Amino acid sequence: MRPRHGRWPLAAAATLAAVMVGGCASLMPVRHAAPPPPPARHTADNGDLAAAMLMAKTFQDMQRLVQAAPAEQAEILAAARDAFQRTPRGDAQLRYALLLATPGHPARNPTMAQVLLRELAAQPETLLPIERAVVLVELAQLDRELGLQQDNEQLRADSLREDQQHNATAQRRLQAQIDENAKLRKQLQAAQAKLDAVATIERNLTDRKTGTEGRPP
């Protein structure tokens, strides 16, 4: 008996097509999945961003250190010092050095800041590029400042030494003049004594002559 409406040829054709497609698919080589794309941000980029944010925070603290009251200034510097003592390297050392180098607060210590920055400059591998740039710029400024300060101190020392030498020379000249005056005074006194002695002799001779002439023959 034939099926109604002639639908069985369509069903059979669909089944046959599915089997053929499945068979062809089983004969095709298997393709592995493509590797996932790299992340949008690399670790180095994240490190640079974190370093830039830390530098920005440090610069803000440097401004606060200048404008704050003495108690807050001491608190800011103490926190940076404690962090440096816990981790004496890298960004903690850089932050502490920058705060020590900041002018306008009583605890400023440019010499110590210079030492810390030179240690960092000697180990550039411990810093990120932005940190190395800050170290070099700040260190150059401190070198210039402390160099000028040393030159001024040397000039003052030279001037003081020259003044002392001039004073010593003037003192020697004055003493020599005093000694010369004393010598001349003694010579004058000796000459006066001789003149007095001569005058006494002459007076005695005159008196004796007068007395002899006044006697009766």
CA contacts within 13 A on the Cβ side of 192:
6
The two structure tokens encoding residue 142: 């401190």
Per-domain residue ranges of the chain: 48-202
Per-residue pLDDT at 164 exceeds 50: yes
Q: Which of 108-112, 140-144, 199-203 has the lowest mean pLDDT?
A: 199-203
Q: In this predicted model, what pLDDT tens digit does every residue of 103-124 receive, in sequence order?
A: 989 999 999 999 999 999 999 8
| Phi (first) and psi of residue 30, to 5 degrees | -80, 130
Start-to-end CA distance of the chain, whole Å, equals 220
- The pTM for the full model equals 0.56
Q: 95 CB contacts (<8 Å, ≥6 apart)?
A: 54, 58, 61, 80, 83, 84
| Per-residue pLDDT band at 33 (split at 50, 70, 90) | very low
On whether the CB atoms of residues 97 and 117 are closer than 8 A, the answer is yes
Radius of gyration of the chain (CA): 53
Query: What is d(CA 183, CA 62) in angstroms, rounded to the nearest whole number?
Result: 71
